């Protein structure tokens, strides 16, 4: 269980150039490529945009601003996430 901010975006179709991935504990983060093609992990916020920290706002002590509003989530299956189906499946 974790308490991410309600303003974090975890809709897998929201950012077509990024990929929603899950840590071993079930917490979601985004994988993107920087201008040099290197893999970077981040979060996306409805209020602040991209947060260049994979753990940003995943709990109150990791909050990046005063707008943090926690929601209780039971791992990966507790999120309402629409994962795109890879082609060929």
Averages of pLDDT over each 10 residues, the chain, 89 residues: 88 92 86 94 96 93 94 63 39
Q: Which domain holds residue 38?
A: 19-78
Note whether residue 2 is domain-resident.
no
DSSP character for 67? T
* Whole-Å CA distances, 89 to 5, 14, 21, 84, 85: 33, 21, 19, 11, 7
pTM for the model stands at: 0.79
pLDDT value at position 79?
55
With respect to residue 14, please indicate whether it lies within any of the assigned structural domains.
no
How many structural domains comprise the chain?
A: 1
Residue 73: its pLDDT value, please?
76
Q: What's residue 3's pLDDT?
A: 85
């Amino acid at each position: 269980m974790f308490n991410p901010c309600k303003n974090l975006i975890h809709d897998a179709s929201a950012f077509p150039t990024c990929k929603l991935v899950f840590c071993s504990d079930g917490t979601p983060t985004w994988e993107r490529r920087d201008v040099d093609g290197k893999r970077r992990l981040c979060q996306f916020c409805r209020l602040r945009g991209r947060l260049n920290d994979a753990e940003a706002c995943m709990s109150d002590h990791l909050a990046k601003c005063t707008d943090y509003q926690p929601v209780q989530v039971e791992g990966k299956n507790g999120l309402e996430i629409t994962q795109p189906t890879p082609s060929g499946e």
